[in-house]
Amino acid sequence: MLKNLNISFAGFARKTQERLYETVGTTKGAMEAAHSRRQADGGKIETEVKRMSDRIAALKAAKADIAMLQSSLSPADESNAGD
C-alpha cells in the first residue's frame, strides 16, 4: 500500500513539474511576443490601452446606472416591465 502511494505521489509530482515547465514556457513565449509587439508598435500600445481603459470605465458607469435603475424599480414596476 505504501509502495502504491509513493508511486502515485511520484507520478503526481512528475505531472505537476511537467505542467509547471509548460506554463513557464508558455508564459515566456507570451512575454517575448508582447515585448516584440511593443518594440514593433511603439506608442500604439499605450494608445490602445488608454482607449480600452476608457471603454471599461464607460461600461462600469453604464453598469452602475443599470443597477441604480433596477434598484429604483418598485415591485409593481418590475412585474409590468415585461409588458
Establish if 15 belongs to a structural domain. Answer: yes
Return the pLDDT at 51.
86
- Global pTM? 0.42
- Whether the CB-CB separation of 65 and 73 falls below 8 Å is answered with no
Whether the pLDDT of residue 36 is over 70: the answer is yes
Establish if 19 belongs to a structural domain. Answer: yes
Establish if 53 belongs to a structural domain. Answer: yes
- Whether the CB-CB separation of 73 and 81 falls below 8 Å is answered with yes
How many folded domains does the chain comprise? 1
- Whether the CB-CB separation of 45 and 38 falls below 8 Å is answered with yes
Establish if 79 belongs to a structural domain. Answer: no
Average pLDDT estimate for 44-65 = 88
Name the percent of the chain lying above pLDDT 70. Answer: 86
Return the pLDDT at 9.
86
Establish if 80 belongs to a structural domain. Answer: no
Name the nearest CA neighbour of 37 among 20, 25, 49: 49
> Is the sign of the CA dihedral 30, 33, 37, 43 positive or negative?
positive
Containing structural domain, residue 45: 2-72
Establish if 26 belongs to a structural domain. Answer: yes
Establish if 68 belongs to a structural domain. Answer: yes
Establish if 40 belongs to a structural domain. Answer: yes
Report the alpha-carbon distance of residue 14 to residue 18 in Å, rounded.
6
